[in-house]
Structure 1
Amino acid sequence: MSNTPHTLEEEFPGQMEQIHALKISDPIFADLLREYDVVNDKIHLAETNVAPVSQDHETTLRKQRLAIKDRIALTLRGA
């Protein structure tokens, strides 16, 4: 397992200006970004054993992160 954080800049290269603009103009999108950061931080803490969790819980968190990332991508495509 990788313990490299999945930052939004890494996940959406070249789209940070669009992400920032949407974050400012769309409160629902801003909440989505915050949710991504919270889940991503939990995964990173679990991977580095700072805050270990069960393998099942870590898998659930990864699925959450992927679903949020998909929603972010969908919003970016629609903007």
Structure 2
Amino acid sequence: MFPEFREKISRLKSEDPHFAKLFHSHNALDQEIKNMEAGITPATHETIESLKKQKLQLKDDLYAILRKGKDACQCGHGCGG
């Protein structure tokens, strides 16, 4: 995910607890979705689609933080909050 930001991701994971939490949540959802799609964990199509939407929102939030750098707010929306 975002190979062009590899170094920045590494730094933010250790320096920004909010970013680290979002990153961990994204990876956990990714693994959960893979397990469901592989039939390891039972799930409905609707559940998988809902998790994919959550994962995409997390990815959007992470990208917003990466693009804005230190000026990004904690929620990733540039609001200063």
Rounded to whole Å, the distance in 2 between the matches of 1:26 and 1:14 is: 19
- Runs of 4 or more, structure 1, over 4 Å off, are none
Give 1:41's aligned residue. Answer: 31
Give 2:64's aligned residue. Answer: 74
Number of corresponding residues = 69
1:50 aligns with 2:40: yes
List gaps (5 residues or longer) in structure 1: 1-10
Query: What SS does the aligned partner of 1:52 have?
Result: coil
TM-score normalised to structure 1 length: 0.83
- The one of the two structures with greater contact order (alpha-carbon pairs below 8 A, sep at least 6) is 1
Q: Please show how residues 6-45 of structure 1 align to structure 2 within 5 Å.
A: 11-45=1-35
List gaps (5 residues or longer) in structure 2: 70-81
Larger Rg: 2
Give 1:65's aligned residue. Answer: 55
Q: How big is the alpha-carbon RMSD for the aligned residues of Structure 1 and Structure 2?
A: 0.8
